[in-house]
Every structure is written in C-alpha cells, then in structure tokens.
Amino acid sequence: MENKIVNVADQNRIKDNKRPATGAMTRNYLTALVILAVLVITSSLLLQAIIATQEGSAAQINISGRQRMLSQRIALFSLRLADARSDKERSAIKDDLKEAIDEMEVANRGLTNGDKDLGLPDNISKETSDIFFKEPDDLNNRINQYLDQARELAIDDQPITHDDPHLQFILSESGNILRTLDKVVDVFQKESESQIAILESIDIVTLSVISAVIIAIGFFLFRPMVIRIDEETNKLVEAFDHQHRIASILQQNLVPEDIPQPEDLEIGIFYQSATKEAEVGGDFYDVFRIHGNKWAIAVGDVAGHGIDAATETARVKYILRDRSYSGDSPDRVLYRINEALYKQHPERFTALTYCVYDPSTSTLKLANAGNPYPYLLSDDRFLEDTGLLLSVERKQDYPLETLEIKDDELLIMYTDGLTEVRKENDEFGKERVGEFVKNNKDLSLDQLLEDLIEEARRFSNDNLTDDILVVGLRKKKQS
C-alpha cells in the first residue's frame, strides 16, 4: 500500500512538473505571436499612412497643377471675349469661362480647406498656409480677386474691349498666379517627400524589429512559419491559376469562333492569345445584323488583363449592341457609347473600331476610337482618322470614314497587340502589317490573317506579351 502511495505521489509530481513547462512554452509562444501581431499591425498602419500621404500629396500636386491650367484657360477665354465677333460666339465663350471659374474656385477651396471628393486633406502645413494666406504671396486672396474679375467679364452683357480693366487685371495677374502656384507645387512635393521618408524610416525600423523577434523565437516557431508560408504560397499559385482559367473562359466567350457572314462580304477573324506567362487580355470582336439589313462589325480592346478586364469587356459589348440597334452612323454610336461609359466612371479605357456594312450599296462606314489604324488594300493606306479612347473625356466626336467596297476589296482591322509586338527595341509596327498584307493579298482571307500573326510571332521570337486580334473584311466577287 505504501509503495502504491509513493508511486501515485511520484506520478502527480511528474504531472505537476510538466504543467509549468508546457504552460511556459504556451505563454512564450503566445507572447511571441502577440509581439509579432503588434509589429505587423504597426507596419501595416505605417504602410497605410504612407499610401494615404502619397495619395493626399498626389491630389494636392495634381489639383495645384490643374489650377495652373485653369488660370491660363480663364486668361485665354477672357482674351477671346475681346476678340469675339458675334453674340453667339461671346455666349459660348462665357459659358466656358464660367465653367473654368467654378472649377478653379472649387479646387482653391479644396486646397485650403480640404475636399474628400477630390482626395484633398483638410489640413495644410504652416509653410503652405503662409503662401495662401499671408503676404507677400497671399495666394488665396489673389485667386479670389482673379476669379472676381473674371466673373465680371462673364456676366457683362456688353462687348468686351482689349482695354477693359477687368481683362487687363486678369492678363497682368495671370503670370504672378502661375509662379505662385509653381511655388505651392514645389512645397507640396517637398513636404510629401519628407513625410514619406520619416514614415518609411519608422517602417524599416519596425520591420527590423520583426526580423529580430522572428530570429529570437527560435526553431520551435521557425519551422511552422516556413510550412505556413509554403502552404500560403501554394494557395496563391492555385488561386492565380484558377483566376487565369476563369478569365480564359470569359475571353473565349467574348471571342467566339463562329460568326455570322453577310452574303457578299467575307469576314475573317483570327485571335491569338499571348504566351502562357501573360495574363488574359481584353480583346474582343462582334458581328451582328442591325436595322435595314445592315451588318455591324466591331473590334475592341479593353485596357488591362485578367477577370476585371474580361468583365469590363462584356459590359462594353452589351452597351455596343444596345447603341448599335438604333441604326445611328458609327460615329454617333461611338459618341453614345463614350457617354454611357464615362457616366459609369469605368476604371478602364477602351479602344474600339466600329463599322457598318450596307450590302444594298456596297458601302462601309467606319469610325475609330483609339484602335490602331485599319489598313485598306486598294488604296494601300491606313485610315488614320481616329478619336480618343472611350471613357477618357465626355462629348467626344469621332471622324467617320465612308468607303465604297468593290470586288476583292480588303480591309484589315486589329488591336495593338499586333503592332506592339517587340524584338528588343524594335516594334512590329503598322508598316510591316501593311507590307505583309499587300504582298500576300492572293491568299485566302483566313490564311492571310493566320500567316500575319505567325509573322508577328516569328518577329518576337515567339514571345507575345499581349493578345492579338485581327479582323479582315473582303468583298466577294459578284458572279
């Protein structure tokens, strides 16, 4: 019985001795994790502060730079008022002048008081405040006086002469305001660099402490950490592959192989995705019948890569079809698409070539928004009339080309993935496109397009970094 009691006591003592050791390891482990968590959070907050500082400073610098442009526009519009020859012309100039005045006033108020919509912080440094509110610069007061003088011109019903005192004030003060705004931009730049340097230094120290703590933790935390990093890396790779597969599926749906064909017009399409290492791009095309037995053909390229670009492409194609069914000419369709995209504030710009073929007259009307110039074989020329990319600016006009499509006429449209194929410092370029098409015009349309892309692939040593889409139109010979 006594031995049993001793044995039980020994066992309890052993258990008691293990508990403190296990508890100490657990406490050390949790302490290390807490320290690391605090340091990581601190580093994350510092990074957010750096980003916020960069964003705020960038907004201040950009808005200050825009103030320079607006002050010049106000001076220009004011001077044009004096040169206006009709009431209609004066009215249009006054509208532009009022718009510039309002924009400059909002921007000035944002720079001095902050504006969340413009991304401007609500506090400025003493040095910047002195420039805006104290002599000798007193920029805020001078800008307000400048705007007041411009408003007098904008509301004056009488014709403005060159010796008008308001105009003379604006012209004389414009240069001073420009110089002071340059000074403001310089101050913002220096303050931004100083603040970011301090935060980066603190962040570097924090990261150094994190490294030291990791080393101090020892082997019992190092291995789990390596294993966890390896697991997370594998998850990221799997997630990227999964996303790439989804984007590829979306892209394939946006560039289908089967397309309708007009009776007297052959349409050839060749799409070449980039090398495996590159992300899926935003190239797309569409062919469909519209009002009056006409055919709409579109070639587009949404900026960016991956799922976001593919999703934006689907939206652009939906808007394209919706606006095309109205029967408007291509230039008006592009105008309306641009207005729709701009109002929705897209994060990506879109290049789009849109044309309408009328079989009854054998005419093709074409408008281009930022895509590479289409090539017309019969004239051996590129259609160089183009407008801005879609969603860059509102109220954009797009030139309209009207072509008479004769038998065997050939028109080639393509995205910039073709012309921007590179070999060292040399681009494939549009001249090589035109030369290749001209020298191989007797090939079938599908073969011509396939060989054209193969020529670009050989040029780049099989290293395509962007998707390539080529669309060819050839008028069939009438029997």
Q: 104-110: long-range contacts at Cβ-Cβ below 8 A with a sequence spacing of 24 or more?
A: 104/67, 104/70, 104/71, 104/74, 104/143, 104/147, 105/147, 107/63, 107/66, 107/67, 107/70, 108/67, 108/140, 108/143, 108/144, 108/147, 110/63
- Of the candidates 461, 458, 438, the one whose C-alpha atom is nearest the C-alpha of residue 448 is 438
pLDDT score recorded for residue 307: 75
pLDDT score recorded for residue 438: 96
pLDDT band at 21 (very low <50, low <70, confident <90, very high): very low
pLDDT score recorded for residue 120: 85
Q: Which range, of 159-163, 194-198, 454-458, averages the lowest pLDDT?
A: 194-198
pLDDT band at 453 (very low <50, low <70, confident <90, very high): very high
pLDDT score recorded for residue 14: 42
Looking at per-residue pLDDT, the higher value among 224 and 330 belongs to 330
pLDDT score recorded for residue 25: 58
pLDDT score recorded for residue 339: 94
Looking at per-residue pLDDT, the higher value among 179 and 470 belongs to 470
DSSP E strands, 119-206: none
What is the rounded CA–CA span in Å between residue 173 and residue 392?
32
Percentage, residues of the chain above pLDDT 70? 82
What is residue 123's DSSP assignment? -
pLDDT higher than threshold 90 for residue 303: no
Q: Is the peptide bond before 159 cis (omega within 30 degrees of 0)?
A: no
pLDDT score recorded for residue 5: 37
pLDDT band at 269 (very low <50, low <70, confident <90, very high): very high
pLDDT band at 204 (very low <50, low <70, confident <90, very high): confident
pLDDT score recorded for residue 479: 63
pLDDT score recorded for residue 60: 77
Domain ranges of the chain: 22-212, 258-475
Would you list the DSSP string of 391-421? Answer: TSSSS----EEEEE--TT-EEEEE-HHHHT-
pLDDT score recorded for residue 426: 92
pLDDT score recorded for residue 308: 78
What is the rounded CA–CA span in Å between residue 169 and residue 29?
73
pLDDT higher than threshold 60 for residue 49: yes
Q: Measure Cα distances from 240 to 44, 245, 253, 278 in Å.
A: 24, 9, 20, 12
Instruction: Give the chain's largest Cα–Cα span.
Output: 123
pLDDT score recorded for residue 17: 46
* Average pLDDT over every residue of 123-150: 88
pLDDT band at 314 (very low <50, low <70, confident <90, very high): confident
pLDDT higher than threshold 60 for residue 114: yes
pLDDT score recorded for residue 2: 39
Looking at per-residue pLDDT, the higher value among 84 and 365 belongs to 365
CA-angle at 373, arms to 447 and 318, nearest 5°:
85
* 8 Å CB contact between 399 and 331: yes
What is the rounded CA–CA span in Å between residue 33 and residue 41?
12
Q: Are 22-212 and 258-475 in the same CATH fold?
A: no
Fold of 22-212: f41 fragment of flagellin, N-terminal domain (1.20.1330)
Tell me the per-residue pLDDT of 351-380, one tens digit each, with 9 for 90 and over.
999 999 999 999 999 999 999 999 999 999
Residue 310: HSE in the Cβ half-sphere, 13 Å Cα cutoff: 19
Percentage, residues of the chain above pLDDT 90? 34
Which segment, 98-107, 283-292, 353-362, is predicted with the most confidence on average?
A: 353-362
**CATH 3.40.50.970 for domain 258-475:** no
pLDDT score recorded for residue 9: 45
* Average pLDDT over every residue of 166-185: 86
Burial class (CB in 10 A: 0-12, 13-18, 19+), 458: exposed
- Both tokens of 238, joined, read 């799997």
* 8 Å CB contact between 300 and 352: yes
pLDDT score recorded for residue 3: 42
pLDDT band at 239 (very low <50, low <70, confident <90, very high): low
pLDDT score recorded for residue 7: 46
